[in-house]
Amino acid sequence: MSTSESRQGSGTDRAAVFDVDGTLVDTNHLHVVTWWEAFRQAGHQVPTHAIHRAVGLGSEDLINHLLGERTTLAPGEVEALSTAHKVLYAQYFERLSPLPDAGGLLRRLADDGWKVVLATSASGEELSALRRAIGADDAITGTASADDVTAGKPAPEPVERALEQAGVPAERAVFVGDTVWDMRAGSSAGVRCVALLCGGIPRTDLEEAGADAVYEDPADLLASLPRSPLA
């Protein structure tokens, strides 16, 4: 096979692209608490329910989404808030827990011939901690992280970079996530979207954002594979 053919993949290749936070690893509420504390330390009172709805955005987008319309941010404040959140969240790196059957789901899909790729706003030590928590590196073909894109979700670029790594076209891919930002990113990239409720976002919101199917968590999706978009 030529280098070009290898990069494009075969006509039978399929890609299962996964968000990580709240989809495979139980981290959404940790992000809510640590963002809340980062904002509090900087003098901003942001309700936790608003932060929860914003989880899934990249740090800069999340800050601007939550503060930008009602607060004039000082020069360097976005970077300072992002750094504060990273420091607070890092204390949990060695205690992160996978969601039920997260690793089993990835291995089953890999065994079934799917190329499994992660699409996440995490990078560096945070991404390493998430992958340790999942414990299924043997099933993962690649990762499109924050270092690989210029625009995070809900822009389609994270999903598009994941598809490029897999060498699979959008019509032969499924994206699995837990937030409205995931569903919008996957829909904009032209892939079918599967949503999980374990991130705490209501089913109706996920469906309105583009979810083709909704399951409770990775274990529910694994048990439902024969009847799912990942059949």
Residue 158 predicted with pLDDT over 50? yes
Q: What is the mean pLDDT of residues 167-180?
A: 97
pLDDT of residue 9: 55
Confidence of residue 5 (pLDDT cuts 50, 70, 90): very low
- For residues 132 and 214, state if they share a domain: yes
Domain boundary among 60, 91, 122: 91
CA 224 – CA 12 distance, rounded (Å)? 22
In a shared domain, residues 109 and 152: yes
58 and 157 together in one domain = no
**pLDDT in the model for residue 54:** 97
Instruction: Examine the fold and report which residue of 71, 91, 111 is the final residue of a domain before the chain moves on.
Output: 91
User: Are 128 and 55 found together in one domain?
Assistant: no
Percent of the chain surpassing pLDDT 90: 89
Q: What is the pLDDT of residue 75?
A: 84
Residue 1 pLDDT: 33
Residue that is last in its domain, among 91, 116, 133: 91
Residues 122, 42 within the same domain: no
Instruction: Write out the DSSP string of 19-69.
Output: --BTTTBS-HHHHHHHHHHHHHHTT----HHHHHHHBTB-HHHHHHHHHTT
Beta strands in 124-189 (DSSP E): 140-144, 173-177
pLDDT at 90: 98
Same domain, 114 and 56: no
The residue-averaged pLDDT of 139-166 equals 95
Helix (H, G, I), strand (E, B) or coil at 173: strand
Q: How far apart are CA 80 and CA 111, in angstroms?
A: 43
Asked if 144 and 214 sit in the same domain, the reply is yes
Number of domains, the chain: 2
- For the entire predicted model, the pTM comes to 0.92
Per-residue pLDDT, 195: 98
Q: What share of the chain is helix, strand, coil (3-state, %, to 5)?
A: 50, 15, 35
113 and 163: one domain?
A: yes
- The per-residue pLDDT for 10 is 57
Q: How confident is the model at residue 130 (pLDDT cuts 50, 70, 90)?
A: very high
CATH code at position 75: 1.10.150
- Model confidence at 72, pLDDT cuts 50, 70, 90, reads confident
173 and 184 belong to one structural domain = yes
The CATH number that applies at residue 124 is 3.40.50.1000
Whether residue 156 is found in the same domain as residue 119: yes
Structural domain including 39 reads 28-91
Instruction: Say whether both 21 and 75 belong to one domain.
Output: no
225 class by beta-carbon count within 10 Å (0-12 exposed, 13-18 middle, 19+ buried):
middle
Same-domain pairing of 60 and 20: no
pLDDT band, residue 47 (cuts 50/70/90)? very high
- Phi, psi (degrees; rounded to nearest 5) at 128: -60, -40
